[in-house]
Amino acid sequence: GAVVSQHPSWVICKSGTSVKIECRSLDFQATTMFWYRQFPKQSLMLMATSNEGSKATYEQGVEKDKFLINHASLTLSTLTVTSAHPEDSSFYICSARVLAEYNEQFFGPGTRLTVL
Amino acid sequence: GQNIDQPTEMTATEGAIVQINCTYQTSGFNGLFWYQQHAGEAPTFLSYNVLDGLEEKGRFSSFLSRSKGYSYLLLKELQMKDSASYLCASRKSGDKIIFGKGTRLHILP
């Protein structure tokens, strides 16, 4: 299947700092990528849909000024958590949609963010 | 998850068969996914159903009834490595995928 990478795989930062997470499609072009957040033993919650060359679409309740998304190329989307706080500590997962038989999404390995 | 219901936990024995049920909201429905997720890892794709019926893929099968808003994932010949969470996910129009909370499956030797 298609390969999606994320960097970093884990990050620890101080409260008030900003953290950037990269999501790359390695062997295909992705016009649409998705960003999810998952708290322990909870479901994946869709945060936003990232569209190449246009503004991201945020889900209700997700602050667009806090979670900045940039999808500048067909293989890269970035999520920046600005002024991070301990409650932002979570597992952040991106996925990329493949325009194939099922149009399924392939997930990156995730980034575990811990804010002290 | 948004109007997707599946059991929180299930336990089964190695070598046995287990069925994980899922019900979903039918409005805007555009397909049903099952993903497997091991602790601390990203989900991996298992199956996709858009038409009624059973899709078989090796030890795993998935069933869909669109009129009932119901799906199940059937796992046969269970192995210890099948211990994981199984996520039912509904695709809505616009390709947005909504995930259920997942079913944690424990396999006993």
Q: What is the pLDDT of residue A106?
A: 86
**Partner-chain residue, chosen from A42, A106, A112, that has the shortest CB–CB distance to B101:** A42
Pairing of strands B84-92, B103-108: antiparallel
| A102 contacts on B by Cβ (under 8 Å) | 31, 48
Q: Is B95 on the interface with A (CB under 8 A)?
A: yes
**Interchain pair B48, A104: CB under 8 A:** yes
**Partner-chain residue, chosen from A41, A43, A109, that has the shortest CB–CB distance to B42:** A109
Q: What is the pLDDT of residue A101?
A: 63
| B104 contacts on A by Cβ (under 8 Å) | 41
Locus of tokens 């259920």: B100
**Which helix H or strand E contains B89, and what residues bound it?**
strand B84-92
Q: What is the pLDDT of residue B87?
A: 95
Q: What is the pLDDT of residue A79?
A: 97
Q: What is the pLDDT of residue B1?
A: 46
Eight-state DSSP code of residue B43: -
Percent residues over pLDDT 70 in chain A? 96
Nearest chain B residue (CA) to A92: B42
Burial B40-63 (b: 16+ CB within 10 A, else e): eebbebbbbbeeeeeeeeeebbbb
Percent residues over pLDDT 90 in chain B? 75
Strand partners, A91: A38, A112
Q: What is the pLDDT of residue B30?
A: 86
**Interchain pair B87, A44: CB under 8 A:** yes
CA distances (Å), A83 to each of A55, A88, B2, B60, in order?
21, 10, 28, 44
The whole-angstrom distance between B46's CA and the closest CA on chain A is: 10
**Interchain pair B42, A108: CB under 8 A:** yes
Pairing of strands A10-13, A111-115: parallel
Please write the tens of the pLDDT for every residue from B62-75. Answer: 999 999 999 999 99
| Edge-to-edge strand ranges of the sheet holding B4-5 | B4-5, B18-24, B70-75, B60-65, B53-57
**Low-confidence residues of chain B, pLDDT below 50?**
1
Answer yes or no: is pLDDT of A80 > 90.
yes
The residue among B21 and A73 whose pLDDT is bigger is B21
Q: What is the pLDDT of residue B2?
A: 59
